[in-house]
Structure 1
Amino acid sequence: MLVVVASVSGAPGASTAALGLAALWPGRPGLLVEADPTGGVVAARFGLAQEPGLASLAAAARHGGHAGGAAPYVQQIPLGLHVLVGPGAAETAAGAVSVLSGQPDVVARLAPVVVADAGRLYAASPASGLLRCADAVVLVASGSTEYLDHLDTRLPALRATARPDRVGLAISGRSAYTPQEISGRLGVPVWAQLPTDRWGAGVLAGRMTGQAWTRTRLAQALRALAASLAAGGQPAHAALEVAR
């Protein structure tokens, strides 16, 4: 299963959500793939080396040397999660993501569950190829009017790239609008509401530690979303609400 997590504007926490979904996937953690063409952040946040990672996988795929397994390219972070880190340099990252978006089956076959962080989806993003074969596309967005307006203008292009029935929203932080109002306006289901949670987000950003983070409100919301995705490929067209 391939789940793509992305945003369209601002910094609503797409990387945090992708990490959490992979770490909290039911049964066993998924594999996090940093496919952000503007550059990866996981290596810097968790003190990892830049290689092995996305660039070496892309080089192998480009020359036909990829044998199908993830083991030569992954590293592990303290969350007990295997990650395929993206290069920090945008030019290198964009080149690697472009190669792998042209061969999305390579990414999808890396593990039973792959969660790809595609970063911000701008026009002609090199990560767009991953959307075409994704089992689910989770768009993380702030619930403010400004960001919802921006999302509204980008959705037609995203619908033309990914299958519309596989696209859903994760609304980050508080919003003046209910999930039903957002879904009705944008024509896309709200799959989750991600609460503002300093501790949960801090652990997923590498700033804090502690196993109890899995009991935070953010972890609860991400666990519910992961379970719903795992059960049916996409959540029901109703918001997965968490306590505010």
Structure 2
Amino acid sequence: MLVVVASVSGAAGVSTAALGLAALWPNRPGLLVEADPCGGVLAARFGLPQDPGLATLAAAARHGPPLSGAAPFVQSLPLGLHALVGPGAAETAAAALSVLAHQPTVEALAPVVVADVGRLYLGSPAHGLLPRAHAVVLVTSGTVEHLHHLDTRLAALRVSTSPGGVGVAVVGKCAYEPQEISNRLGVPVWAHLPSDRWGAAVLSGRMTGPAWSRTRLAQALRALAGTVAGQPRPRPARPALEVVR
């Protein structure tokens, strides 16, 4: 099962949402894959090396033997989950994603893979992941301009994402009710992610503490994870490779 988390404009908190979604996935954490072609931030935020990671996986997929598991490519995050970190350099990240986006390598890494693809700009190599996604979570600010920008892009995204589902997660204050947004955009609002400095600080590596899972942001992300996990599967799941723990 592949879940893509993205935005279409601005810095709407995609990395924070993707990390929380993977960490709070029902029953067991998902595998977080940092597939942002503009460069990754996880290694810097959590004091990790950039290898192994996305670039290592891309090199193995291009030149190596068939992959036998995710363990050689993932690292552990303090939140109790594994992550495939992206390189910080945009050129390296985009090249690695260009290799992986059009083959079934990413979704075969674990039973649930949450891919943070950053901003889905026109021509982003991350578009190659959309046709295989079980669900696409579009993270947006609740301001008029961000919702309007999302509205202009949704028709094309729904086509490229078929047969997966598309839903919206609205971040921060918003003057509109979820049903109003859904009626305008033509897709469901799966979550409202509140402004929560403590919860966001833990997910960005600035703070630690087991109580973070009780924050308002964590509660909203847990509910979002349950909603996405409950989406009907459009086709049989591809056999997955377990992360070695």
Instruction: Give me the TM-score of the superposition, normalised by structure 2.
Output: 0.92
Which runs of 5 or more residues in structure 2 are unaligned?
234-245
Shift of 1:229: 1.9
Shift of 1:154: 1.2
Partner in structure 2 of residue 137 of structure 1: 136
Please list the CA deviations of residues 53-81 of structure 1 after superposition, one character each: whole Å capped at 9, or x if unmatched.
00010011112424141100000111111
The one-letter amino acid of 2:89's match is A
**Residue 230 of structure 2 corresponds to residue 231 of structure 1:** yes
Name the SS of the counterpart of 2:125 in structure 1: coil
Partner in structure 1 of residue 186 of structure 2: 187
The one-letter amino acid of 1:14's match is V
Shift of 1:115: 0.3
> Counterparts of 2:114 and 2:26 in 1: how far apart (Å)?
13
Shift in alpha-carbon separation, 1:156–1:64, aligned structure 2, 3 A: farther
Whether the 8 Å CA contact 1:141–1:147 is kept in 2: the answer is: yes
> Counterparts of 2:155 and 2:71 in 1: how far apart (Å)?
37
Shift in alpha-carbon separation, 1:192–1:130, aligned structure 2, 3 A: same
The one-letter amino acid of 1:160's match is V
**Residue 101 of structure 2 corresponds to residue 113 of structure 1:** no
Shift of 1:27: 0.9
Whether the 8 Å CA contact 1:68–1:106 is kept in 2: the answer is: no
**Residue 34 of structure 2 corresponds to residue 51 of structure 1:** no
> Counterparts of 2:162 and 2:114 in 1: how far apart (Å)?
17
**Residue 176 of structure 2 corresponds to residue 210 of structure 1:** no
Partner in structure 1 of residue 74 of structure 2: 74
Partner in structure 1 of residue 4 of structure 2: 4
Within-5 A mapping of 1:143-162: 143-162=142-161
Shift in alpha-carbon separation, 1:164–1:132, aligned structure 2, 3 A: closer
Whether the 8 Å CA contact 2:2–2:115 is kept in 1: the answer is: yes
Shift in alpha-carbon separation, 1:204–1:66, aligned structure 2, 3 A: farther
Partner in structure 2 of residue 237 of structure 1: none
Shift of 1:231: 2.9
Whether the 8 Å CA contact 1:32–1:114 is kept in 2: the answer is: yes
The one-letter amino acid of 1:69's match is G
Shift of 1:233: 4.3
> Counterparts of 1:79 and 1:194 in 2: how far apart (Å)?
19
> Counterparts of 1:72 and 1:137 in 2: how far apart (Å)?
27
The one-letter amino acid of 2:48's match is L
Within-5 A mapping of 1:24-63: 24-63=24-63
Please list the CA deviations of residues 177-207 of structure 1 after superposition, one character each: whole Å capped at 9, or x if unmatched.
1111111111111011000000001000001
Bigger mean CA deviation after superposition, 223-232 or 196-205:
223-232
Whether the 8 Å CA contact 2:2–2:135 is kept in 1: the answer is: yes
> Counterparts of 2:126 and 2:15 in 1: how far apart (Å)?
14
The one-letter amino acid of 1:9's match is S
The one-letter amino acid of 1:146's match is E
**Residue 203 of structure 2 corresponds to residue 175 of structure 1:** no
- Number of residues paired by the alignment? 233
